[in-house]
Amino acid sequence: MSSSKHIETQAIHAGRINDEQFGSLATPLYQTSTFIFDDAQQGAARFQGEQSGYIYSRLGNPTTRQLEQRVAAMEGMEDAAATATGMAAVSASLLANLQSGDHLIASKAVYGCSYALMSHMLTKFGIEVTFVDMENPENIVTAFKPNTKAVFLESPINPNLVVLDLNTIGKICQQHNTLFIVDNTFCTPVLQKPAEFGADIVIHSATKYLNGHGDVVAGIICSTQEMIAHIKTTALKDIGATMSPHDAWLIIRGLKTLPIRMERHCDNAMKIATYLSQHEKIAHVYYPGLANDKGNQYIGKQMKAAGGVIAFELKTDIEGGAAFINRTALFSIAVSLGDAESLIQHPASMTHSPYEANERLEAGISDSLIRISCGLEHADDLIADLEQALAGVHLSQNWAA
């Protein structure tokens, strides 16, 4: 593993497999389901944990292992587990550490499927979940119970880009001897390293920025070696939501350009957010890079930059918002984020549709909220596309008045 502390170098060299047979520069792709043993004794030794080595790709694979070691190094954590999807990373982290009778505290605003997992699936198996507004960390303190085992959050929050105080929340979790789990998908380790603020488990939807090319669905869990071994040998091994070697190979390729791509994503987002914040048909822009955003205080402290995702509210109704999205040309109407292409979507009817209407409002997700993932195109072209789409927006009666 690379000993470099610079993430640009880690993204290319950490966890590198040396191909001693052929000297391949690119990471070898071990596209195999199983591995041959030299003899029956070696197979028995590996199954019984007496000898290291690969057995079956659901239990481990050299290509997948390189990805795990690389992302762990980039996050400044000991180890990582690769999963089939981002939601597999969320569910495996929770299911490996919670059981019936336990209590979980979660942010009131999280990704829609994370919310559905916690509010419906976990409670089905006797795990109590309390959703709180974590902008005020005291709400977390108030929510603690004797059976609280973990605190889960995203920062920035999907989709309204609220930034949470990881340092303060991390200290609260430490004081209560509680697992602190952070979904770091929006920032990536290039912009934010939650472990520096006390996070015990850091999750990524590797589908997004880590891969960066819209052709993989995957997840990553980073933690201590002990925790990763626990997650791998329980939830991941037995439920089976592990990553394929080919997907790992594609993400390794994507990681090499992650630091450079994040610079462009952030630069484009800042220019677009500035433009939108000055437009007469925009009610509000949610982007931590803007000086008047509450999350701006964390830039340069908790986060190196504000990221590539912007949310904003139009001065129109839900129909007007849909019409606006339909008029865009360079923005692809699609969920997800972190791709080279710029994407646009309507959270209330798409990514956060698992929420009930009142739950969305409590989480700060209005019907007129639009989320865009700024890609790698030229910012001027993206702004021109938004401008022509905004020209056709008709103000709703409330705003027209």
Which positions are catalytic? 58, 111, 183, 208
Buried b or exposed e, range 235-259, using 16+ CB within 10 angstroms: bbbeeebbbbbebbbbbbebbbbbb
Which sign, positive or negative, has the C-alpha torsion 127, 133, 139, 142?
A: negative
